[in-house]
């Protein structure tokens, strides 16, 4: 084997290693692009899950709404009837006792708060 051939082989090997590293880097990039896109729809939907409820009582003075609600998985609550704080007064104006609604309840600073309420 001549010295020249040895150098050529060594360079060829070096080049192919380089090529492998390049394609691995490209795969990483593709993986990084995929993850946020694959994650966000699931995160968005779990954040916006609504639970069936029925309005039992509205107290505009205190901003409290008593709901008979289904399981609220995000706050670890089984179905029950209880009073919740409404996030805003506009929510109370549209609501009426006896309405069947879909709600999103979240723990806001330690207070179970109705953050979304839609009439069914």
50 binds Cu ion (CB under 5 A): no
Region of 11-19, 47-55, 71-79, 86-94 interacting with Cu ion (CB under 5 A) = 71-79
82 binds Cu ion (CB under 5 A): yes
Nearest-CA neighbor of 49 among 19, 24, 70? 70
CB 57 within 8 A of CB 83: yes
Burial class (CB within 10 angstroms; exposed 0-12, middle 13-18, buried 19+) of 82: middle
80 binds Cu ion (CB under 5 A): yes
83 binds Cu ion (CB under 5 A): no
- CB of 58 vs Cu ion, minimal distance in Å: 17
């Amino acid at each position: 084997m001549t010295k020249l051939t040895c150098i050529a082989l060594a360079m060829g090997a070096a080049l192919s290693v380089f090529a492998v590293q390049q394609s691995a880097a490209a795969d990483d990039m593709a993986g990084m692009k995929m993850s946020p896109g694959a994650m966000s729809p699931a995160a968005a939907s779990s954040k916006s899950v609504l639970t069936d409820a029925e309005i039992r009582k509205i107290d505009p003075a205190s901003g409290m709404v008593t709901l008979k609600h289904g399981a609220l998985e995000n706050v670890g609550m089984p179905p029950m009837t209880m009073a919740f704080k409404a996030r805003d007064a506009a929510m109370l104006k549209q609501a009426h006792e006896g309405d069947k609604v879909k709600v999103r309840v979240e723990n806001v600073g330690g207070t179970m708060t109705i953050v979304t309420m839609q009439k069914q």
